[in-house]
Amino acid sequence: MSAVYETVQAQPEVETVVPPAQPVPVKTTMNKPKFELQEKLADGLRWIIPPMLGILAFIALWALVAQETENLPGPLKTWESAKLLFADPFYNKGPNDQGIGWNILYSLYRVGIGFGLAALIGIPLGFMIGRFKFLAAMTAPIISLLRPVSPLAWLPIGLLVLHKAEPASIWVIYISSIWPMILNTAVGVRQVPQDYLNVARVLNLSEWKVFTRILFPAVLPHVLTGVRLAIGIAWLVIVAAEMLTGGVGIGFWVWDEWNNLNVEHIIIAIFVVGIIGLLLEQGLIWIAKRFSYE
């Protein structure tokens, strides 16, 4: 709470500090904008230089290792290959040869379905587990037993029950991303400050109002943390699951390119998977910030 409060407070302070730095009015009208531009530029540079250096160091290291290794393509070779690959991302030459765009979209689709189902079931379940001690005690042993199971261990069960590869990989996403959503929601419900619940009792609010005005907003940041962890896991798991199940998807594509011994494409896939994971995570962080009032 105080952190947000301080940043809100800090902005006007910066503005009030600037004016005293302009003693002569005629000159300052000329100098001030230039001064501010320089400040902004310096600020931007300070912000951008360390990550840029990090990336450059990484590429340099990669180039060095690639030079010493026989089969590993260097950054330049990979870049040339990526330009070709992304020149036509949505071509379709039958089920085993489609553009990288299609592969990414298929993977996202599977993650979306599996993760969406997990949210649909996991979040309400988390609310109930957090609210009712009996249910929490009832589900605790099962959750603690199943949660640490490696996601791919669920794949054979999925194939067995659902008969097809496609729903089986969705099932793996579902089962591996549901736990953080259940657990975080339940913790959030349990941590709703007693003060707020006392307010609800004193104001004699209806159950519906208690839920919409107190429980839900109070728990929302926890829910979003669960969602963020879950989507991270889902995206991690889909690559591995698709390697095993096949079909169109970024995971299978990696495997396919390995069989073709197209190492550049594997490296590109690694970057693509990383960037999409990063975007998903940042998107959810952005949403979570919008709903944080503390």
Partner 1 sequence: MEKFVHLDHVDVKFSTKKGVYHALSDINLSIDQGQFFTLIGHSGCGKSTLLNIIAGLQDATEGAALCEGREIKGPGPERAVVFQNHSLLPWLTCYDNIYLGVERVFGTKEGKAKLKQRTLAALDLVGLSHAEQKRPNEISGGMKQRVGIARALAMEPKILLMDEPFGALDALTRAHLQDELMKIVAATNSTVVMVTHDVDEAVLLSDRIVMLTNGPAATIGEILTVDLAKPRDRLALANDPHYHHIRSKVLEFLYQRQMRPAAA
In the complex, the residues that contact partner 1 under the rule CB under 8 A are 1, 4-5, 8, 195-196, 198-199, 201-206, 209, 213-214, 217-218, 293-294
- Of 12 and 148, nearer to partner 1 (C-beta) is 12
Q: What is the DSSP string of 199-225?
A: HHHHTT--HHHIIIIIIHHHHHHHHHH
- Of 15 and 195, nearer to partner 1 (C-beta) is 195
Cα distance from N-terminal residue to C-terminal residue, the chain: 4
- 151: number of Cβ within 10 Å: 18
Rounded to a whole number of angstroms, the minimum distance from the CB of residue 1 to partner 1 is: 6
Closest CA to 99 of 268, 279, 239: 268
C-alpha 261/C-alpha 154 separation (Å) is 29
- Of 5 and 86, nearer to partner 1 (C-beta) is 5
Rounded to a whole number of angstroms, the minimum distance from the CB of residue 198 to partner 1 is: 6
C-alpha 162/C-alpha 3 separation (Å) is 49
Rounded to a whole number of angstroms, the minimum distance from the CB of residue 291 to partner 1 is: 8
Which amino acid type is present at position 244? L
- Of 4 and 55, nearer to partner 1 (C-beta) is 4
Rounded to a whole number of angstroms, the minimum distance from the CB of residue 11 to partner 1 is: 12
Instruction: Give the CA angle between residues 167, 168, 174 to the nearest 5°.
Output: 85
- Of 27 and 209, nearer to partner 1 (C-beta) is 209
Rounded to a whole number of angstroms, the minimum distance from the CB of residue 225 to partner 1 is: 17
